[in-house]
Amino acid sequence: MQNYSERLKELVAKRDEVNSRVAPVQVELDEANLQVERAQLRANDLARQIDEARGGQAWIELKREIAMLTRAVGGSKNTPTAAPIEFVAEEKPQVKKGFFSRLGF
Protein backbone atom coordinates (compact mmCIF):
# COMPACT_ATOMS: atom_id res chain seq x y z
CA MET A 1 0.00 0.00 0.00
CA GLN A 2 2.88 2.32 0.74
CA ASN A 3 4.20 1.97 -2.83
CA TYR A 4 0.88 3.11 -4.24
CA SER A 5 0.83 6.16 -2.00
CA GLU A 6 4.37 7.10 -3.00
CA ARG A 7 3.64 6.62 -6.69
CA LEU A 8 0.49 8.70 -6.37
CA LYS A 9 2.48 11.52 -4.73
CA GLU A 10 5.06 11.38 -7.54
CA LEU A 11 2.44 11.53 -10.23
CA VAL A 12 0.50 14.35 -8.59
CA ALA A 13 3.72 16.34 -8.16
CA LYS A 14 4.59 15.81 -11.82
CA ARG A 15 1.10 16.85 -12.91
CA ASP A 16 1.22 19.98 -10.76
CA GLU A 17 4.68 20.90 -12.08
CA VAL A 18 3.51 20.58 -15.70
CA ASN A 19 0.36 22.57 -14.99
CA SER A 20 2.41 25.35 -13.39
CA ARG A 21 4.67 25.52 -16.48
CA VAL A 22 1.75 25.79 -18.89
CA ALA A 23 -0.32 28.17 -16.77
CA PRO A 24 0.74 31.33 -18.68
CA VAL A 25 -0.08 29.68 -22.01
CA GLN A 26 -3.40 28.48 -20.60
CA VAL A 27 -4.26 32.07 -19.71
CA GLU A 28 -3.50 33.11 -23.31
CA LEU A 29 -5.60 30.23 -24.64
CA ASP A 30 -8.52 31.19 -22.43
CA GLU A 31 -8.29 34.79 -23.67
CA ALA A 32 -8.10 33.66 -27.30
CA ASN A 33 -11.16 31.44 -26.81
CA LEU A 34 -13.02 34.36 -25.26
CA GLN A 35 -12.16 36.50 -28.30
CA VAL A 36 -13.43 33.74 -30.58
CA GLU A 37 -16.71 33.58 -28.67
CA ARG A 38 -17.10 37.35 -28.92
CA ALA A 39 -16.36 37.27 -32.66
CA GLN A 40 -18.91 34.49 -33.16
CA LEU A 41 -21.55 36.50 -31.30
CA ARG A 42 -20.75 39.51 -33.52
CA ALA A 43 -20.91 37.36 -36.67
CA ASN A 44 -24.26 35.93 -35.58
CA ASP A 45 -25.60 39.45 -34.98
CA LEU A 46 -24.44 40.61 -38.42
CA ALA A 47 -25.96 37.54 -40.08
CA ARG A 48 -29.24 38.24 -38.28
CA GLN A 49 -29.19 41.85 -39.52
CA ILE A 50 -28.60 40.69 -43.10
CA ASP A 51 -31.37 38.11 -42.84
CA GLU A 52 -33.79 40.72 -41.50
CA ALA A 53 -32.84 43.21 -44.24
CA ARG A 54 -33.44 40.58 -46.92
CA GLY A 55 -36.82 39.65 -45.51
CA GLY A 56 -36.10 36.31 -43.84
CA GLN A 57 -38.19 33.50 -45.28
CA ALA A 58 -39.36 35.68 -48.17
CA TRP A 59 -35.72 35.86 -49.37
CA ILE A 60 -35.43 32.07 -49.37
CA GLU A 61 -38.67 31.75 -51.31
CA LEU A 62 -37.46 34.35 -53.82
CA LYS A 63 -34.23 32.41 -54.37
CA ARG A 64 -36.17 29.16 -54.80
CA GLU A 65 -38.45 30.72 -57.39
CA ILE A 66 -35.46 32.18 -59.27
CA ALA A 67 -33.82 28.74 -59.34
CA MET A 68 -37.02 27.06 -60.50
CA LEU A 69 -37.62 29.58 -63.27
CA THR A 70 -33.96 29.45 -64.31
CA ARG A 71 -34.24 25.69 -64.78
CA ALA A 72 -37.54 26.14 -66.61
CA VAL A 73 -36.05 28.48 -69.20
CA GLY A 74 -32.90 26.41 -69.54
CA GLY A 75 -30.47 29.15 -68.60
CA SER A 76 -28.18 30.09 -65.81
CA LYS A 77 -28.71 32.77 -63.20
CA ASN A 78 -26.59 35.19 -65.27
CA THR A 79 -28.13 34.37 -68.65
CA PRO A 80 -31.58 32.93 -68.04
CA THR A 81 -32.59 33.06 -71.69
CA ALA A 82 -29.36 31.83 -73.29
CA ALA A 83 -29.98 29.85 -76.45
CA PRO A 84 -28.53 26.34 -76.61
CA ILE A 85 -25.40 25.86 -78.74
CA GLU A 86 -26.15 24.26 -82.09
CA PHE A 87 -23.50 22.25 -83.94
CA VAL A 88 -23.33 21.82 -87.70
CA ALA A 89 -23.07 18.13 -88.59
CA GLU A 90 -19.32 18.34 -89.39
CA GLU A 91 -18.61 20.29 -86.24
CA LYS A 92 -20.10 17.86 -83.76
CA PRO A 93 -17.55 16.89 -81.18
CA GLN A 94 -16.23 13.35 -81.15
CA VAL A 95 -18.10 11.32 -78.56
CA LYS A 96 -16.00 8.69 -76.90
CA LYS A 97 -17.61 5.42 -76.01
CA GLY A 98 -18.91 5.43 -72.48
CA PHE A 99 -18.13 3.03 -69.70
CA PHE A 100 -21.06 0.71 -70.36
CA SER A 101 -20.65 0.64 -74.14
CA ARG A 102 -17.02 -0.46 -73.67
CA LEU A 103 -18.35 -3.34 -71.60
CA GLY A 104 -20.69 -4.38 -74.42
CA PHE A 105 -23.95 -2.96 -73.07
pTM value?
0.51
DSSP codes of every residue in 49-74: HHHHHHTTHHHHHHHHHHHHHHHHHT
**pLDDT (tens digit, 0 to 9) for every residue of the chain, 105 residues total?**
679 999 999 999 999 999 999 999 999 999 999 999 999 999 999 999 999 999 999 999 999 999 999 888 887 666 555 555 565 555 555 556 665 565 665
- What does pLDDT average to over the chain? 83
How far is residue 74's CA from residue 4's CA, in Å, rounded to a whole number?
Answer: 77
Domain ranges of the chain: 2-78
pLDDT reported for residue 89: 57
User: Would you mind telling me the total number of residues written for the chain in this entry?
Assistant: 105
